[in-house]
Structure 1
């Protein structure tokens, strides 16, 4: 199809080969329930999934699990194992070290100036990413928040009259303050039957408090008489990671540096779960870079002719 940015030729090349290869099948509308280990426990023998209400099984050569930091961990924890701790979990680290950004929304309000922006996420600053600006510890990243309106504020301040919230939103410049959450084995994802239980233990909150303080001072110095802030809680997930971390030691990490499970040679987990630490920025490019690295590794090893 012509995408406007050039053409993708579906008649030739790797895409055409994949679409016509009888050994490649794309299953849609499928929900993976659990993985089954081989009798020796050293590989994954089958994927059990539900499709259109029917229970189905697939026995692959390779299993690449990319369901996100929460769901990948949940699938592994739900999967039967000899010790009852789930698969890829001899280290007892699957689901642990859950990290989420410590973040706040900040509104800089000037009743004399109306903000007519629609697409507001156009500016960010890293002045406080490596230090607090005075030689102290790192704080985090600051960027514009997508433009809020009175309805969004009403969801959090139900007793305030709507016209007041509309006025505030219309005269506010909205900011998003984002700081690093640090790994903690007791900050974790667990499962209770089909339910997922999140036990998030925030860390490094002093950085968010410091960034909030310095940005409030900066915005007031810029002439905004009203500066309001509110931290996001666990209802606002931001770039979850760390639940199936990679490392150099199978005793302390579920994955090796190429995202292969130490316990199962044909299982790879490639999503935000592999990150051993978080950051104060969006990790999408780091995840994509590691995915390309793992793909090249698989091509040269597992898929080599």
Structure 2
């Protein structure tokens, strides 16, 4: 029997892979999406904090190795839609300044090889595809743009009062851009307190399954294999073209052939797959003539913060509606930016117990009932020693040490002072430090020079002509806002290029 053949094989079904499948749906090309996990079941546990956080019902039990040689379980979900099934759906554009070099006390955030205006049309399309709700002009750091496809999600009373208090103190809070489907409408998003880090039981969150894979599968040209992990990319004798993919499909080894391969397994796993696909022509890993595959890993420097008041119960359900970018650009007497602040989904006692297991449950309950949850986020800088590699037995090793910490401490201090001015008695802080694997990016940076980048400006590998990468691997810097929308926008841009070139001008 001949090996199965597809015009395009997409590896991964998250923001990059799921969006690519949607963009190629209905075209004159056979498309296969490989997903190593399965569908997230729609079940009551979707909304149970203890199941999601304490029992880790949906997280992988895979173990990676850290820079000290110790095992750890990454914050990863292998399922249709990838980690987007569990994101909070804050879908930001990068600021215009994020595409330019940014100087920090601890180093430089490098320029992108494209500018904001290059990506702007695909940001428009990405927001439409993922049903983003927001308010044009509310965020002073945002570039001039078209109106959002949908109006901003209204603040609940407690959050609305906080926004008014911030405005009275000169802080420009704005509605977060959120990917939600028909919020507060019949059959749509309920605006509940189990959104951020939970899968949506109603499929009313804009994730890569709901907005990408599932609609794509309505087209006859798109097929999905679940339980199918790509273990190796196979090339021709020249090493210039991928000819196939070795797949472990539910325990069976399958070889399939492909005209074009789109790698979208996430910044860590995409780099790991290229390293695992070394050949006589690519002795240091596929597409690695630069030696940069796996290097410059970034994942943001983030601190969770809870503004606690012992006598004020917070009845808010959907809390994640407020963004603050007053510290995103150089200002306040600083020659450098600090980063971004946003309100978070409601913490639950089970979440607190998972993070701080020694805390009594009654204390965790009291804490979350009387708190308002925030996130302070600063960009970490690309460092070639922050990298993905493989252990001798083929496991993923993640060497990662946060940097730009002075700037992050300044942002956290500003955020804590802001919360205290609003009446918080205590501001509790928790940083996930070097084990963080959310917002991962940067391991296969794009650029024009094959000596200093792995991918070209359309995310085609410099070394292998029919291999593209459409996850956050391509980021040369991490900026300080959520990366998801930029992955989606660049994927749509790459899809248009692919349709106009490799797939015969069928765009």
TM-score by length of 1: 0.90
Q: State the match for 2:190 in structure 1.
A: none
Q: State the match for 2:358 in structure 1.
A: 159
Shift in CA distance, 15/259, structure 1 to aligned 2, threshold 3 Å: closer
| CA–CA distance in structure 1, aligned partners of residues 309 and 336 of structure 2 | 31
The secondary structure found in structure 1 opposite 2:459 is coil
- Listed as ranges, the gaps of 5+ residues in structure 2 are 1-24, 31-218
**4+ residue segments displaced more than 6 Å:** 15-18
The secondary structure found in structure 2 opposite 1:208 is helix
Q: State the match for 2:312 in structure 1.
A: 113
The secondary structure found in structure 2 opposite 1:55 is strand
| CA–CA distance in structure 1, aligned partners of residues 317 and 404 of structure 2 | 33
Q: State the match for 2:119 in structure 1.
A: none
Alignment of 1:244 onto 2:256: no
1:1-305 correspondence to structure 2 within 5 Å? 14=26, 19-20=219-220, 25-82=223-280, 83-131=282-330, 133-192=332-391, 193-304=393-504
- Listed as ranges, the gaps of 5+ residues in structure 1 are 1-12
| CA–CA distance in structure 2, aligned partners of residues 26 and 185 of structure 1 | 35
| CA–CA distance in structure 2, aligned partners of residues 20 and 142 of structure 1 | 43
| CA–CA distance in structure 2, aligned partners of residues 243 and 225 of structure 1 | 41
The secondary structure found in structure 1 opposite 2:225 is coil
Q: Give 1:238 deviation, angstroms.
A: 2.2
- Spell out, residue by residue over 1:252-274, the C-alpha distance to the aligned partner (whole angstroms, 9 max, x if none): 11111111111111111111001
Shift in CA distance, 112/190, structure 1 to aligned 2, threshold 3 Å: same
CA contact (8 A) 2:402 2:433 kept: no
Q: State the match for 1:10 in structure 2.
A: none
Q: Which moved more, 1:222-231 or 1:253-262?
A: 222-231
The secondary structure found in structure 1 opposite 2:439 is coil
Q: Give 1:158 deviation, angstroms.
A: 3.2
- Spell out, residue by residue over 1:139-196, the C-alpha distance to the aligned partner (whole angstroms, 9 max, x if none): 1110112111222222333333321221121111111111101111110011123311
RMSD between superposed Cα atoms in Å: 1.9
Q: Give 1:303 deviation, angstroms.
A: 1.4
The secondary structure found in structure 2 opposite 1:75 is helix
| CA–CA distance in structure 2, aligned partners of residues 188 and 284 of structure 1 | 21
CA contact (8 A) 1:184 1:201 kept: no
Q: Give 1:41 deviation, angstroms.
A: 1.0
Q: Which moved more, 1:226-235 or 1:171-180?
A: 226-235
| CA–CA distance in structure 1, aligned partners of residues 306 and 331 of structure 2 | 21
| CA–CA distance in structure 2, aligned partners of residues 212 and 94 of structure 1 | 33
CA contact (8 A) 1:73 1:94 kept: yes
| CA–CA distance in structure 2, aligned partners of residues 273 and 264 of structure 1 | 16
| CA–CA distance in structure 2, aligned partners of residues 91 and 303 of structure 1 | 28
The secondary structure found in structure 1 opposite 2:346 is coil
The secondary structure found in structure 2 opposite 1:71 is helix
| CA–CA distance in structure 2, aligned partners of residues 20 and 97 of structure 1 | 39
Q: Give 1:15 deviation, angstroms.
A: 7.0
The secondary structure found in structure 1 opposite 2:258 is coil
| CA–CA distance in structure 2, aligned partners of residues 289 and 168 of structure 1 | 39
Q: State the match for 1:7 in structure 2.
A: none
- Spell out, residue by residue over 1:205-260, the C-alpha distance to the aligned partner (whole angstroms, 9 max, x if none): 11210011111111111211211212122444221000011111101111111111
